[in-house]
Copies of this chain bind each other. A is one copy, B any other.
C-alpha cells in the first residue's frame, strides 16, 4: 500500500525544509540549493507524492479539466467523437470528465450543475434531443454561463452559443440527388422520431426532390421508433403499400437491420430491387458494403475541442473573435448498394 496522498507539508517535514522550499522543488521554480533539491526529490518519489489537484484548482481557479456531456455513450457515433475529444484535450494538458444523460433532460441539467461545481474550465455537450422542449426556463442559465461551452451535433436554441455540427442538410441532399441522378423518382425514407439532426437530413432530401421537380410525398417517409412493438412487420407493410419505391434512404443505423430484413423477406434484393443508402458507416453497412453518408466523427471531436480550448484561453481577451457555428461536411461514399433505375 503506497500512500499517494502525502502532502507537501509532510514532504517538507521529512526533508527538513520549509513548505515553501518543498513547493519550489516540486513546482520547479525559484532558487533551491542542489542538496535540498535532491533530498526533497528523493523523499517525494519515495512517498509517491501526488499533488492534490483539488487544492491546485482551488488556488488557481483553473482545473485543466473539461467536461463532456453526451446523450448516449453507447452510440458509436458519440463514443467515436468522445475518443477524439479526449485525445485532443489530453494533448493540450486537459483531462476530460465524461457524463452520460441517456437522452434525459433532467439528468442533463443535473450533470451540468455537477460540472460547474467541479469547476471544469469548459464544457462540450450534445444535448438530449428533447432539450428544447423540456428545458425549464430557470435552467437555461446553465447553458449560457461564464464557463465556455461548445455544443456538438445538437444545440440549445436561441443562445448564440458556439456550435459544431454536421451539415445534415447537405448530406441528405447529396444522397438524394445521387439517387435521383440514377433515375430513382420514388425514394423512401426510414427515419427515427423528430430529432433535429434527422429533420435536417429530411430537409436536404426535400430540397433535392424540389430541384429535380419531383414532388415530395409524405407517405414515402416511414417513422421508425425503437419502442415500436414490431417495427419489422410495420416496415414490410409500408414497403408493400408503396410498391413504387425503388430506393430507400435509411436516416440512421437503428432501423437498418429491420429494413434489410424486410426487403429480403419479400424476396427482393439490394440493389437489384431496392437501392439503399444508409446514414452512417455502421458495422452492417461496412459488412454489406452499403453506399453511405459518412459523418466526420473524429473531425467533429477535434474541432469541438479546438474551439473549446480557444474559447477557454481567450475567454476574456477578445470574446467576439469566436466563430459561433461550424458546419462539417458529411460525404457520400459510393459502394455497392445503389443501382441505376
Interface residues of A (CB under 8 A from B): 1-5, 48, 50-58, 63, 65, 73-74, 76, 79-80, 82-83, 86-87, 95-100, 102, 113-114, 116-119, 141-142, 144-147, 257, 260, 282-284, 286-287
Contacts and interface: CB of A to CB of B under 8 A. Distances in A.
A291 to B, nearest CB: 17
Contacts of A82: 73
A315 B96 CA distance: 27
Given A53-B117, A82-B73, A99 B96 contact: yes
A49 B87 CA distance: 32
A113 B55 contact: no
A86 B100 contact: yes
Contacts of A86: 73, 98-100
Contact of A80 (B3, B74, B142): B74
Given A54-B55, A97-B98, 6 more contacts: A55-B58, A56-B117, A86-B99, A87-B102, A96-B99, A257-B283
Contacts of A53: 114, 117-119
A147 B98 contact: no
Contacts of A99: 86, 95-96
Given A54-B118, A87-B102, A3 B76 contact: no
A84 to B, nearest CB: 10
A335 B100 CA distance: 33
Contacts of A57: 54
B119 A100 contact: no
Contacts of A146: 1-5
A50 B113 contact: yes
A11 to B, nearest CB: 15
B48 A54 contact: no
Contacts of A284: 283-284, 287
A160 to B, nearest CB: 11
A50 B283 contact: no
A15 B65 CA distance: 32
Given A4-B146, A283-B283, A119 B83 contact: no
Nearest to A2: B141
25 contacts: A1-B144, A1-B145, A2-B142, A2-B145, A2-B146, A4-B142, A4-B145, A4-B146, A4-B147, A5-B116, A48-B141, A48-B145, A50-B117, A52-B117, A54-B55, A54-B58, A73-B79, A73-B83, A74-B76, A83-B100, A95-B97, A257-B286, A283-B283, A284-B287, A287-B287
